[in-house]
Copies of this chain bind each other. A is one copy, B any other.
Amino acid sequence: MKTILTDTIEVPVRFSEVDSLSIVWHGHYLRYFEDGREAFGKRYGLGYLDYYAEGYLVPIVNIQCDFKRVVRYGDRIIVETTYTPCEPAKINFTYRILNAETGELLVTGSTTQVFLSKSGFTLQLTNPDFFTNWKAAQGLIQ
């Protein structure tokens, strides 16, 4: 049986995030993804401050995003954030943004993060111990 770690939160659509077409400007979805990632991190002990306390920064190195339906001011939306396990020293998440009332799928996306040492911004080629331990504790590896 496979463990799937996921988290879901409702995210407010701010007036300032809607552009002159009356739809959310595409760049703001990256904030919604980040909101989702933070909520995930809070739930599973994998937030920016957790990484930092372990001596790592985890910058994003790849983003992909597909916009399927427009989102308008007043719409209620939900971000579903799912951790996608992988062997290399990377952190992968996929995202689905849904209309909170109809369940309609609005946006999908993914991000990849890597580990840099806090001192020196050096790329880590192997998984830090704390991260391997985290995966084991979550039942993702044995």
Could you tell me which A residues sit within 8 Å of B by CB distance? Answer: 12, 14-16, 18-23, 25-28, 30-31, 34-35, 38, 48-49, 57, 59-68, 70, 73-74, 121
Contact = CB atoms under 8 A, between A and B. Distances in A.
Q: What is the count of identical protomers in the complex?
A: 4
A35 B20 contact: no
A26 B67 contact: no
Nearest to A13: B38
Contact of A30 (B26, B59, B61, B74): B26
Contact of A67 (B28, B59, B121): B59
Contacts of A61: 66-68
Best-buried of A60, A61, A63, A74 by chain B (most CB within 10 Å): A63
Nearest to A11: B12
A16 B16 contact: no
A90 to B, nearest CB: 13
